[in-house]
Structure formats: structure tokens, C-alpha cells
Structure 1
Amino acid sequence: MTDTVSVALAGASLGLSAGFSPGPLLSLVLSQTLAHGPREGVKVALAPLLTDAPIILAVWLVLSRLTAMPTVMGGVALAGAALLCRYGWDCFKAPSPDAGNPDLAPRSVLRGVAANFANPHPYLFWATVGVPFLLETATAGAVPVIVFLAVFFASIIGAKVAAALVAGRFRRFLSSRAYRLLMAGLGLSLFYFAFCFARQGLVLLRGA
């Protein structure tokens, strides 16, 4: 039970951090909301459900063949730590979103899918953080893997949906101190996971 709870907490923390962290998809969620209303922003927020599954599968097939190579997996873990540090730092300097063009047709689902497929963040995240964590979790069975994925996607999509709803109703919040503090808190959580991945990477490299 404790392991499952830990996996769920990790999924929630990483999902919320990824959901609120600055990036092309969040920018599109907010710009579509400001230009066309919260409903269009919510449509964009659903993009990870359509784009991440093939990315996860492809990365899993590659990394699952490398789990017996501690040097490679140690390097992947250190790369994941560096990526999380970058995302954490981005949280501290997140710019206020710009409004999109209300005269353009929304096409929010298509824009969201295109933006996420063209966005390097999902590929880097799943290759260096998400799938390595899943491979480690899978040693305890399929349930923790399912729990992590379910909680992660509920959190990342929920975060972006919440951002769309807040942007639609409380536009000033996006330039407020409370928004900055929220982003700083998410940045600190990413630094914590970066530390965990760096420690794991060094252990693997020392044991190689």
C-alpha cells in the first residue's frame, strides 16, 4: 500500500508540475482561452491523451532493452535530473501569457495535438524521467504502473483544465503574485525530483 501511495504521489506531483510548467502546450491552452473562451482551452488541455501514448510505447520498447546496462540507465537518470532542473528553473521565470487572435478559427484539438507532437518536452520527459520511473516501478507489478499513469494524466490534464478555467474567469490571476508563488512551489517540487534522479544516476554509475 505504501509503495502504491508513493507512486501515486509521484504521479500527482510530476503531473501537476508538468501541467502548470511553462511550455508550448500551456501557452496554447491560455492563449486559446483568452481568445475564444475556457471551452477551447480545455480542448487543448486534452492533447496529452492523444499524443503521449505512442511516445511512451516507443520509449518503453527502447529503454526496456537497456535496463541491464547500468551505465546507460545512469546516464539517462542524470539527463532526467538536468531536464527537471531546467523545467524547475522555467517555473521561476514564467512569463504572463499573451492572448491569442480571436479572429482565427479555434481548431483547438488540432492545434493542441500539433503543438504537443512538435513540442520536445514530452519526448524528453518520457525518455529521461517518465519511462525510467515506470520501468523501475514495473518490478513491483502492473498495478503501480497503471496507478502512476492514471494519476499522472489526471493531474497534467487537470492542471491545464484548471489553468484554462482560471484564465477564463480570473485573468488578473495570471499576472498576480499568487500565480508566481504557485509556479515557484512547482519549481521546487521539480528540483526535489531532480535530486532523486541525480542520486539514482550516480548510484547506477558507481555500480557499473
Structure 2
Amino acid sequence: MTDIPAFFAAGAALGASAGFSPGPLLTLVMAQTLAHGPREGVKVAMAPLLTDIPMLAASLLALSFVQDRPAILGALSLAGAAVVAFYGWECLRARPLSLPDIRVAPGSLKKGVIANFLNPHPYVFWATVGAPATLAAARSPGGLAAAAAFLGGFYLCLVGAKVCAALVTGRFRAFLGSRGYALLMRLLGLALFAFAALFVRDAGQFFGLVP
């Protein structure tokens, strides 16, 4: 991944898979939509824009202390490959969703922020995948523009996927319980396996096994 479009594509694939994958935040998006309409579901979808900043900052700070240690960076790349491959496997195993039949009070953005802060997946993602990829993008020929492309692609598709889930739940709720949703998740899973392979290649370069 050495150019801006590639980093944007990587961020977009990771963001879309995270956005559409079943989890606490997606469930809350659908619950708020069913209880109070798509507008409240969209508010929940915006939560990662608030919660992920400290996670990314802390991960980048930690990486700054090991940036001159190829062995550690190689191990992180392998960990990132494992995480991305696991996300890909989860996408391949995804089934049509059952919409939650619950009623919750408004306060959607607050609930979304709390749910995302208590969810361990974002912490694991930024520590092993997101921050290393952002740093790699910044060090590529594209520089800060490549890093911005990765983060832009990620958040565009992460938040966009959850916004779509809110709108679909409100208007075309049957889609989330259809085979079309399962097919979409399988396509995203295959894309994630491809990116996991790129992280393995990066690990090989850090270990001096790949030119």
C-alpha cells in the first residue's frame, strides 16, 4: 500500500466491514431507529467520530516509541493481519440480522458513545490495525495525504454503513434480514482477507524476509 487510492480503499473496506458487522453499536442503531425513527439511529452512527480520537491518539503515541524497532513493528503487523483475518472470517459467517424488538429512550448520541467506549473491538482495531496503517500511510510517498485518505475512507464507510443501516431499518427493514445482506458481508470478508495478506507482507519486510 504505497499510494493514496490504495490507502483509501483499505480504509473503506475496513470501515464498511466494521460498520455492517453485527455488534453493540449496530444493534443500538437499529433499536433507536425502530423506537424513535431513522434520525435517532443516525445520531448513534456518529458516535465513533467522538470515541475513536483518543484511541487513535494513544495508539499512535505508543507506536512512536517503537518505530525504530522493526521486530516489534513486524509483530504488530502480524497481529494486525490476524485481527483483519478474524474480521473477514466473521463477515463470511454473517447471517441475516434479526431486528431488535426493544424500546429505548432518546439520548441516542450519548448511548452510542457509551456503547462504543465499552466495546473492546475499537481498542483492538486501533492498536493492531488502524494506528499502524495510519502511520504506514504517513510514511508512504503520499505522506499525510495518504494518512488522511486512509482515515477518510475508514470513517466515511464506517459511519456511512451505520447511517445506511438506520435508513434501511426505517424504510426497508427486510433487507437486513435478507440473503442480500449476507452476500454483502461475504464480499467484505473476502476484501478483508486480501488486506490481511498485505499486513503479512509488511511483517515480512520488517523482519527482513521480503524485499
2:133 aligned residue:
133
What letter corresponds to residue 159 of structure 1 in structure 2? A
Q: Give runs of aligned pairs for residues 98-177 of structure 1, distance below 5 A.
A: 98-102=99-103, 104-139=104-139, 140=141, 141-177=143-179
Tell me the distance in 1 between the aligned counterparts of 2:55 and 2:6: 24
The structural deviation recorded for 1:35 is 2.8
1:127-173: CA deviations, max 9, x gaps? 11111111111113222112222222111111110111011111111
Tell me the distance in 1 between the aligned counterparts of 2:93 and 2:111: 25
Tell me the distance in 1 between the aligned counterparts of 2:94 and 2:111: 22
Tell me the distance in 2 between the aligned counterparts of 1:24 and 1:206: 40
Q: Is the 8 A contact 2:94 2:186 kept in 1?
A: no
What letter corresponds to residue 196 of structure 2 in structure 1? A
Secondary structure of the residue aligned to 2:42 is: helix
Evaluate the alpha carbon distance shift between residue 114 and residue 97 of structure 1 in structure 2; reply closer, same or farther with a 3 A threshold.
farther
Ranges in structure 2 where 5+ consecutive residues have no aligned partner: none
Q: Is the 8 A contact 1:60 1:131 kept in 2?
A: yes
Identity %: 54
Tell me the distance in 2 between the aligned counterparts of 1:93 and 1:35: 28
The structural deviation recorded for 1:12 is 1.6
1:63-114: CA deviations, max 9, x gaps? 1221111111111111111111211121123351332422x31221111000
Secondary structure of the residue aligned to 2:3 is: helix
Tell me the distance in 2 between the aligned counterparts of 1:105 and 1:20: 23
What letter corresponds to residue 83 of structure 1 in structure 2? V
Secondary structure of the residue aligned to 1:22 is: coil
Tell me the distance in 1 between the aligned counterparts of 2:71 and 2:28: 38
The structural deviation recorded for 1:202 is 3.0
Q: Which has the higher helix share?
A: 1
Ranges in structure 1 where 5+ consecutive residues have no aligned partner: none
Tell me the distance in 1 between the aligned counterparts of 2:75 and 2:101: 40
Greater shift, 66-75 or 21-30, is seen at: 21-30
Q: Is the 8 A contact 1:47 1:109 kept in 2?
A: yes
1:202 aligned residue:
204
Secondary structure of the residue aligned to 1:182 is: helix
2:65 aligned residue:
65
State the aligned residue count.
Answer: 205
Evaluate the alpha carbon distance shift between residue 100 and residue 32 of structure 1 in structure 2; reply closer, same or farther with a 3 A threshold.
farther
2:87 aligned residue:
87
2:19 aligned residue:
19
* TM superposition outliers: structure 1 runs of 4+ over 6 Å: none
Tell me the distance in 1 between the aligned counterparts of 2:106 and 2:98: 17
TM-score, length-scaled by structure 1: 0.91
RMSD of Structure 2 on Structure 1 (CA): 1.6
Q: Is the 8 A contact 1:26 1:160 kept in 2?
A: yes
